[in-house]
Every structure is written in structure tokens, then in C-alpha cells.
Amino acid sequence: MKISFIINGMSKIIDVEDENTPLLYIIRDVLDLKGTKFGCGKAACGACTLHVNNEAVRSCSYPVKFAEGKEIITIEGLGNRAKPHPVQQAWIEEIVPQCGYCQPGFIMATAALLNKVPRPTDKDIDNNIINICRCGTYYRMRKAIHRAAELSAESSSTSFKITD
Amino acid sequence: MATNKNSNKGVSRRKFLVKGGLGTLGVLAVGTYIFRNPIRRGILGKVNSLEMPYTDNTDKPMIWFEITSDNFIRLHSPKMEMGQGTFTGIAQMAADELSIAMHRIKVVHAASSTGNVDSFATGGSTSISGLWQPLRELSAMLRTMLLKEASHKLNLDIDQLIVEDGTIIGKGKQLTFAQVADGVDEWVVPDSPVLKDIKDYKYVGKPVPRIDLEDKVFGDPIFGMDAQMPNMLYGAVVRSSKIGSVFVSADSTTAEKMPGVVKIIHEADFVAVVANSMIEAENAKNAIEVIWESYDNLNTKDIVEIMTVGNGSSTIIQKKGKALKEKDNSLTMEFRTPIGAHAQIEPNGVVAFVKDGKAIIKISTQVVGLTRKEVAQRLDLDVEQVIVEPTFLGGGFGRRLHTPHAVQAALMSKAVGRPVKYFFSRKEEFQHDMFRPPTHHVISGNLNEEGLLNVLEHEFVSGDVGNDSALIPGFLPPIIGADIGAIRGGFIQYTGIPNFRSVYWHVDLPFATSWWRSLGLLANTFAMESFMDEMAIRAQMNAVEFRLRQIADDPIGIRLKNVINAVTDKAKYSENIVEGRAMGLAASIDANTPCAQIAEVSIVNHEIVVHKVTVAMDPGLAVNPDQIRAQCEGCVIMGISAVLYEQMFVENGELAPTIYGPYKMALMKNAPKEIDVVLLQGKDTPGAVGEPPLGPIGAAIANAVRRLTGERLTQLPLKLPKYI
């Protein structure tokens, strides 16, 4: 069957035999976007986190059929070297990654959190950022999340010319 | 400039070969090798203090540097980047000695085809310390060669030339390294490298950002799991969920007819599926009926029973003075640590392509050389015909110090004549891990009139770490007599005590245990430093004073005292409970790097909460202080995960759990909000960084809990009794 969606701003029509195929496999193996990672296949680690209609979704356990007509953003579409997303910028400033494998999932989870809660407290971060990082970069991530919130606020206040 | 004092035993004895390469202007390749006998590492009593050298074992020229036409330098790293920051550290070292901006150095993993692979492994916290001398010498050598050639091309004396950011300048004329290298067929190789003074370095010693930062933040396809080849298929190997299973036979008639299946492969020791997609391979794999020969059902209690001091054979690894004869007036305590999983997020995976007597293996591995050898042996190829192309590792932690799944993927590829990608499911990762072994410790001591230890004895039993490892040649363990991994951290570091001994016991387990970041250090330090704290309490002495007074004044003892003093000052150590929080202190020496930590702990809703950890470490010269801090922070958090939450069980012959969540690990909410790191420099060369900070964390937390609650917790993961 055919499934259509928008991914990183581009319309795609995918032909799948099994509509229950996890979205992650389509993204990695069919669309060849390797930034979204496979970690556990059971939505337990968050390495495969991406956005579907601006919500964080663990794509290893998200049947592709549910993506029909929706808008997907992966790490490749969040920002790039020329125009990093505030979360990516904050991650660079705080030198967060070690091995780096889980980082796209955390960055996507953080970007989704900031969409909902622009100034998260430590408690908000503890309750919402529940991916697993084996290298133990949580300490720098927390700093980077607060920094990303600042950067987002700065960029939105610039674009809307809001002054205090 | 300072002349290198070691030049007579360093790089100058090696042959140099400089040749042009495809798309490159000059290649510095080095023949022969700096081999130092690995047996030396194993000399008992010194294992804790020795740092492992860089070893390479090929007699073929090895490519280290390539100069590209846009005046960049490609540095082929024999060490893998697995998060520890090695690529950044070696780029700093090379940039300084070459006099080129760091952004002009591109570090790549050396493939086995270039020969520049470490014969041993990426592990043991040795990458920066081991490459410190040879890499700087090679870089200085290349700079000197470029200067000589530039002098010839510009018709100026060498002392009229200076090097600035990859450009050689003199008398108003200049040439980039690339322009110097262009068209050169024969290079003049200097006799010995002349190294710069360390104080003249621009990058070494500075907290420069990781060079792989952007690749990792923008999601570039850099990992083994991201590797692919044209026309690639997917493989899956049937694995038994029971411990100790031996493959007997398989019926694959149903699986053969399933959608997407290309071929079922029957080998003597395994059966595998090759299919068009990963999911089709997995589905067909599950339809294969396999007969296994398995052990009788085992449970965790059986493992605990086996893993008890007094079982198996023993080796005294350290001894001074008299043994404790009378147990009167002495304290004896027992400690236990569980089976731990590596649980790295990137599953083990590989892409293999075998055709026309050649094999290409793309893999995240810590052992390029071993992987190459195993594929060559099983497929009956010359090692030169096996090209291992290592990728970035989505976590190493020791899990990739044996990667025999490369052999299985190679056999699958050979059978279908196409590239095959094969990776472990998460269940397979958990059940077929090579685990951190469980341990048991019996520690005894008695105090003299001054309240100091008169005798201290540590007896411990551990599953294998290095003994049964593919990485260690089989003849070594009998020579050494003790497992070089299991005994890490098992030595008495308070050598001011008049009588002490440490005894290692060996027993065999029915499942594989192996290298887990810091090896025996985590378990041994938890036990030893918990016991020391208990003795300090018995002696009614401050925990800092109790330790400092029993450390000998030898060089490593002085460095250990310094980190204990530094952490005490920084954390303002106090044995008072303030606002429900208590502090716990612990210290360890690993691979010649002393580290001390203080954990600030409270109990919230019956859970142990670690609010702050202060770390003082002396890794010697800090090539990149920021990345050393990152390793300390990471070790603290990985350590908290291991000592508060992680535990594998054996249930009816199966290792469990098989998924994150049930295998509980530290999340963001469990990480301390503050981690304060103090770095000391007690020696003038870089030392081990990536593992030593895992030592103290367990006891630091347990000691804080003891002071807070009066309870001495003696088992990992730490669990409060119900009444607290």
C-alpha cells in the first residue's frame, strides 16, 4: 500500500508491503536518513526519537501507517551547520556528545519539549527527557537544555521585536 | 626547541616511507614498529601502576598522514573514537607539532589496509597516553621533512624559514604544505625528530571543543549501524536464549519459503538467514527450529553460590608482613557485586562483503586487528585480503573488544555473493553480552592502639575479565596466574599499613564475562573503600585523616594523598549531616591515575539521591582538560547507574532482563545536578583518563549512606533496607 507524508519539508510517497512496518525502518533503510538511530526496537531507549506533527515519537515502535498525511521532522531536518536549531547550537556550546549515538534522539526530544514548555524547569526536564545515554552526558545535557531555552527565547524575541 | 631525549629509542630507528597516494600529495608512512612486550604489563603487583604503551605489530608501512591538495592533513588514527575524545586529543597533538591550525586536521579511522592499526585494542584508557610520544615524534618528523623540501624549493636555508598554519614562509616567499609536497618523489628523512617545548603548544593543554561535535549534533551517518554498501542484504543469526547452549541442528523448511528470504545458511556452529530487509530476516529467523544442547536450568542463586571466596583456585597478588592470624579484635566484612551489562546504545553490527577471495568488513569495533585475523582464519583468506574499515563506535565500554559477528556476516556474504548487514537485536545484546563479572569480597582488618590498621586483607573472587578473552593470548593467563582485568583495583593502596595482602580467587562461570569499562576497579574499589570507611568509623577518626595516615610516601602515594586533599578542600568535606544530606569519600588508583570523589547524598521517598559529586583526579598532563572533565562526569553517571540500579539476573537458565527499563539504568532525573571536577598534574606526561573515575563512586555513595542512616550497604546495586 501507498503511504504519503511530508518529511523534512519534502513530500514522499512510500510503497510498503506491511503498513505496520516501523517508521524507523522506512526512514533509515528506504529514505536513507541515518541520523535517527536504532537502539532497542521497543521504544525503551529513545534513540529513534523524531517529530510527527511536532510531537516526539519513538519511531521504532510507530507503524508507518500512522504517518499518513502527517509532517515528520528528523535530526537532518531540524537544523544544519549553516542554520542550527537552538537545541543543536546549545549542544555545540556545551560540548555535550561523547560517543554521540543517542544524541539525535535527545536533541529531538528536547526540541519537542521546548515547543510545549519554552522555559522548562529541572523538574520538567526530569519528567520529559527520559531517553537513555550510556556515556552519561546527562549533566551537560541539562545545561544545554536550559541554554537552548535561552537561545530560543532570544531568537523569538528578535524576530518578533519584543522588548522587555 | 628542545631535543627529544628519547629519540634514540623512538621514531628514529624506524624506516620511513613517503609516497604519493590517490588524490593526495604526500603520505607519511612508517615501517617497523614500537613493540613492547605485553607480558610486561602483566607483572603482578605492577598492573595497577603500569600504563600500557601504544603497540603496533605490522612490518608493512603504515600511513599516518596524508596532505591533500587543499592543504588539509588527513590523520589516520590507529585508535577508535568511541566517545572518549581521542580524535580530538590526537588532532591537538599533531596540529601543535605540525604548526597547522586544528581545523586543517581531519582525523579518520585507519583501515587495516593502510596497516596503521593498533595490534592490541582501543581500550584500557591508553589511547592518548600511548600515542603521546610516537604521534608527536611523527608529526615533528613530517614538519622537518616539509621544511627541508621547502628549503630546497624556495632556495633558502631552513633557519630562514618559519611555519605558520600549514604554510612555510621565508624572505617574502611562501608555500603551503600542499605546494611543498606537490611533485615530490623522494623525501629527505631526518635522523631524529625535534619536538617543540610543551609551553609553546597552542592546542595541547587547552579545552578545545571536540572535533566530532558537529557530526554528532547534526546526525551524520558515522556509526557502524549506518554503514552500507550497494546491493546490500540483511542477515540474522539464530541465537539460543539459554545459557551455555551449543548448536546441534536446525530445520529451516518453513523459513525458506517466507517473504524476502534470499538464503538460509547452515554452518557447523550456527544457522543464519539472509533476506531483503532486516524485518524479513528477523521474521524468518524466528521460524527456524533449532536443536540446542543446553545447561541444566540455572538461577541467580546458583551463580552467587559459585561466586564465593574459597571456591576455585587462589593467587596471592600482593603481600607485605604477616597475615591476620587471629580474627579477635578484627572486623571481617563481605561485599558482593552483580552481573552487569554493557548496554551500549548502538547494537553490535557489521556490514561484510566477501567476493573473489577478498573481504571488506565495515564495523564498530575496538579490535581491528583481532577482527581481521578471525575473519581471515574462518574464511581461509590471507589477512592481507581482509580489509577492516572501522567506524565511529556508538559506545565501546569494552563490549567491542571481541567482535566475532564479523565472521558470521562474512560467511553470510560469501554464501550470497552480496554485501550483508547484520546486527544484534536488543534481546540478543542483553543475553549474549560479555558481562561485567559478578564478584564477592571478604575483607578483614584490625586496628592498633593509635586507631590505624595493623593488618588489612582483601580476598576476592571474580568471573573472568581477561583470562578467557580472545584479546589475550592463551599462554598468558597461566604465566600471570591471575586475571589482569579482574585484579584491577584489587590491590591495597594503603601501603603504609605494616601487614597486608590481597588474594584473587578464580572460578569458571557458565556464561561469558569480560571487559566492562574499568574492569575490576568498580567492584574492588566499592568493597575496599567501603571497608576503609567502616574502619575509620570504628577508629573514631575522620575518614580523610584515617586514609592519609596510611598511604605510603612513595610517588603514587603522594599523588593519591594530593587528590584526597584536593577533593576534601573543594567539596568542603564534613562528617556532619546538613539538611538531610551526608557526604561520602572514596579514592582509588587505576593505571597510575589516582582519583578521589565525594558524593553528597540524601534519602528521598526511600530512594538514594545523589545531589552532587566532587571529583579530584591526577591524570598527569591534561591534553584536553574539557574532555577529561567530560570523562569524569560520564564515569560518575555511568557509575551511579551501575551502583544504584543495574543488575542482570539468571532465571531458569536465561539471562534477564532483555530490554532497557526492566534493566534499570540511570536517567536524566538520576544524574547529579552538580559535578565538580578538579584536575591535578602530578606527572609531566598524559596518563589514563577514561576509566579511573569509575573507581570511587560506588563507595563514595555507600559511605554517605552509612553516615546518613547508620546502615552499611555491602551489595551492589545499593538498596536501602525497608525500615529506612
Would you state the pLDDT for residue A162?
A: 40
DSSP letters along B12-75, please?
Answer: GGS-EEEEEETTEEEEEEE-S-----GGGGG-TTTTTT--PPP-B--SS-EEEEEEETTS-EEE
Residue of A nearest to B612 (CA): A139
Of B700, B713, B701, nearest in space to B586 by CA = B700
A123: nearest CA in chain B?
A: B669
Which residues of chain B neighbour A122 with C-beta distances below 8 Å? 673
Residues 43-82 of B with CB under 8 A from A: 82
Residue B10 pLDDT > 90, yes or no?
Answer: no
B705 with B713: CB under 8 angstroms? yes
- From the candidates A138, A146, A147, which should be mutated to test the interface with B, based on the most B CB atoms within 10 A? A138
User: Is pLDDT above 50 for B22?
Assistant: no
Q: Distance (Å) from the C-alpha of residue B203 to the closest C-alpha of chain A? A: 17
Residues of A in contact with B626 (CB under 8 A): 95
Tell the CATH topology of A2-78. Answer: Ubiquitin-like (UB roll) (3.10.20)
B395 and A CB contact within 8 Å: yes
Task: Give me the residue from B83, B209, B661 closest to A99, CB to CB.
Answer: B83
Angular region, B481: left φ>0, alpha ψ -120 to 50, beta rest: left
Lookup result for grid cell 579545552: B207
Whole-angstrom CA distances from A78 to A38, B217, B219, B428, B572 are: 18, 10, 10, 32, 44
Measure in Å the smallest separation between the Cα of B631 and chain A Cα atoms: 9
Q: Which residues, listed in sequence order, are joined to residue B265 by a DSSP beta bridge? A: B272
Which residue in chain A is spatially nearest to B83 when comparing CA positions? A99
**Geometric angle at alpha carbon B563, from B559 and B568, rounded to 5°:** 145
B252 CA: distance to closest CA in chain A (Å): 23
Report the alpha-carbon distance of residue B636 to residue B522 in Å, rounded.
11
What cell does B602 get?
540524601
CA atoms of B240 and B183, how far apart (whole Å): 59
Cα–Cα distance, A31 to B566 (Å, whole number): 53
Q: Does A104 sit behind a cis peptide bond, omega within 30 degrees of 0 on the bond before it?
A: no
B587 neighbors B696 (Cβ within 8 angstroms): yes
Nearest-neighbour CA in chain A from B309: distance (Å) = 31
As a whole number of angstroms, the distance between CA B704 and CA B710 comes to 10
Per-residue pLDDT of chain A (164 residues; tens, 9 = 90+): 999 999 999 999 999 989 999 999 999 999 999 999 999 999 999 999 999 999 999 999 999 999 999 999 999 999 999 999 999 999 999 999 999 999 999 999 999 999 999 999 999 999 999 999 999 999 999 999 999 999 999 887 654 444 43
Average pLDDT over residues B16-37: 42
Pairing of β B105-109 and β B73-77: parallel
The chain B residue lying nearest A77, using CA atoms, is: B218
Q: Which positions 275-334 of B are in contact with A (Cβ < 8 Å)?
A: 277-279
Contacts of B273 (CB under 8 A, 6+ apart): B235, B236, B238, B252, B255, B261, B263, B264, B265, B281, B284, B285, B288
B146 compared with B51, residue with greater pLDDT: B146
CA B319 to CA B455: how far, in whole Å? 11
Interface of B with A in 662-691 (CB under 8 A): 665-669, 671-673, 675
**Region B118-129 average pLDDT:** 83
Nearest to B217 among A29, A97, A133 (CB): A97
- DSSP code string of B282-340: HHHHHT-EEEEE-PPP--HHHHHHHSSBTBSEEEEEEEES------TTEEEEEEEE-BB
Whether domain A86-159 has CATH 3.40.50.150: the reply is no
Q: Does B85 touch chain A (CB under 8 A)?
A: yes
B609 close contact with A: CB closer than 8 A: no
Beta carbons of B214 and A101 less than 8 Å apart: no
Mutation target vs B (from A26, A95, A108, A130; most B CBs, 10 A cutoff):
A95
Strand order in the sheet with B162-164: B162-164, B167-170, B173-176
Task: Write the burial class of residue B511 (CB in 10 Å: 0-12 exposed, 13-18 middle, 19+ buried).
Answer: buried
CB B271 within 8 A of CB B252: yes
Among chain A residues, CA nearest to B675: A139
- Tell if the CB–CB gap between B630 and A142 is shorter than 8 Å: no
CB < 8 Å to B635, chain A = 136
Q: Quote the pLDDT of residue B471.
A: 82
B215 touching A (Cβ < 8 Å) = yes
Cis amide leading into B657 (omega within 30): yes
Instruction: Report the residue from B217, B397, B641 with minimal CB separation from A92.
Output: B217
What pLDDT score was predicted for residue B480? 77
End-to-end CA distance of chain A: 53
As a whole number of angstroms, the distance between CA B642 and CA B718 comes to: 9
Q: Where do the CATH 3.10.20.30 domains begin and end in chain A?
A: 2-78
Distance CA A109, CA A102 (A): 11
What number of other Cβ atoms are within 10 A of residue B717's Cβ? 18
Cβ–Cβ of A45/B668 closer than 8 Å?
no
Mutate to test the interface with A, among B217, B436, B522 (most CBs of A within 10 A): B217
Name the strand (E) or helix (H) holding B619: none
Q: Are B637 and B671 in contact (CB under 8 A)?
A: yes
The pLDDT value recorded for residue B327 is 63
Q: Which cell numbers in the block locate residue B113?
A: 589496509
- Contact criterion met (CB < 8 Å) for A99 and B396: yes
Chain A partners within 8 Å of B668 (Cβ): 125-126, 129-131, 138, 141-142
- Which one, of B466, B509, B502, B459, lies nearest residue B484 by Cα? B466
Neighbours of B37 (CB within 10 A): 9
Class of domain B224-294+348-423: alpha beta
Contact criterion met (CB below 8 Å) for B600 and B581: yes
CA distance B724 to B720: 7
- Å from B391 to nearest chain A CA? 12
Please tell me the predicted confidence (pLDDT) of residue B478: 75
This model of the complex carries an ipTM of 0.96
**Mean pLDDT score, B690-694:** 98
Whether residues A138 and B666 touch (CB distance < 8 A) is answered with yes
What per-residue confidence (pLDDT) applies to B400? 97
Report the pLDDT averaged over residues B318-338.
87
State the number of CA atoms in the 13 A half-sphere of B644 facing the CB. 24
**Residue of B85, B225, B630 lying closest to A38 (CB–CB):** B225
* Nearest neighbour of B660 by CB, restricted to A80, A101, A132: A132
State the DSSP string of B399-457: TTS--THHHHHHHHHHHHTS-EEEE--HHHHHHS--BBPPEEEEEEEEE-TTSSEEEEE
Distance CA(B207)–CA(B216), nearest Å, equals 18
Average pLDDT, integer, range B87-107:
97
**Which chain B residue has the Cα nearest residue A143?**
B673
- At a CB cut-off of 8 Å and minimum separation 6, what does B470 contact? B367, B370, B374, B402, B404
Considering only CB atoms, which chain A residues are within 8 Å of B84? 98
Q: Nearest CA to A19 among A67, A69, A72?
A: A67
Rounded to the nearest angstrom, the minimum Cα separation between A69 and chain B is 24
More confident residue, A82 or B325: A82
The yes-or-no verdict on residue B451 having pLDDT over 50 is yes
Yes or no: say if B234 and B422 are a contact pair by the CB < 8 Å rule. Answer: yes
- Taking CB atoms and an 8 Å limit, are B668 and A17 in contact across chains? no
| Contacts with A135 from chain B: Cβ below 8 Å | 83, 395, 634, 638
* Closest CA relative to residue B610, chosen from B487, B698, B545: B698
CATH 3.10.180.10 is right for the domain spanning B301-340+434-709: no
pLDDT, tens digit, for every residue of B154-194?
Answer: 999 999 999 999 999 999 999 999 899 887 777 777 777 78
Phi-psi region of B249 (alpha: psi -120 to 50; beta: other; left: phi over 0): beta
With beta carbons less than 8 A apart as the criterion, state whether B514 and B465 touch.
yes
Q: For residue B540, what pLDDT is reported? A: 97
Measure CA A139 to chain center: 19
CB-based contact B653:B242 (threshold 8 Å): yes
Q: Cell 590481597 belongs to which residue?
A: B502
pLDDT at B93 over 80: yes
Contact A44 B82 (CB under 8 A): no
Asked if B663 contacts B717 with a C-beta cutoff of 8 angstroms, the reply is no
Question: What is the number of CB-based contacts under 8 A between chain A and chain B?
Answer: 173
**A164–chain B nearest CA distance, Å:** 30
Confirm if B585 and B642 have CB atoms less than 8 A apart.
no
Dist CA B126 CA B688 (whole Å): 6
Amino acid letter, residue B307: M
Q: Which fold has domain B7-217?
A: Aldehyde Oxidoreductase; domain 4 (3.30.365)
Q: Where in chain A is the domain with CATH 1.10.150.120?
A: 86-159
Q: How far is B670 from chain A (nearest CA, A)?
A: 8
pLDDT tens figures, B461-499 = 999 998 888 888 777 777 778 898 999 999 999 999 999
pLDDT in tens, B582-622: 999 999 999 999 999 999 999 999 999 999 999 999 999 99
| CA distances in angstroms from B699 to B501, B520, B675, B694, listed in the order given | 20, 14, 17, 11
The answer to whether B80 and B87 have CB atoms below 8 angstroms apart is: no
B264-297 tens-digit pLDDT: 999 999 999 999 999 999 999 999 999 998 876 8
Contact: A34, B226; criterion CB under 8 Å: yes
- What is the Cα A159 distance to its own chain's centre? 23
Same CATH topology for B7-217 and B301-340+434-709: the answer is yes
Of B82, B425, B637, the CB nearest to A138: B637
- Residue B652 cell numbers, joined: 531458569
| Domain ranges within chain B, ordered by starting residue | 7-217, 224-294+348-423, 301-340+434-709
C-alpha cell read off for B181? 609536497
Give me the sheet containing B62-68, strands edge to edge. Answer: B16-21, B24-30, B62-68, B73-77, B105-109
pLDDT digits (tens, 9 = 90+) for B520-546: 999 999 999 999 999 999 999 999 999
B562, B631, B712, B45: CA torsion to nearest 10: -60
The x, y and z cell numbers of residue B215, run together, are 557530526
Contact B582, B611 (CB under 8 A): no
Kindly report the backbone phi and psi dihedral angles of residue B352, in degrees, each rounded to the nearest multiple of 5, phi listed first: -125, 145
Asked if residue B80 has pLDDT above 70, the reply is yes
The alpha carbon of residue B175 and the mean position of all alpha carbons in its chain are separated, in whole angstroms, by 41
DSSP string, B128-152: HHHHHHHHHHHHHHHHHHHHHHHHH
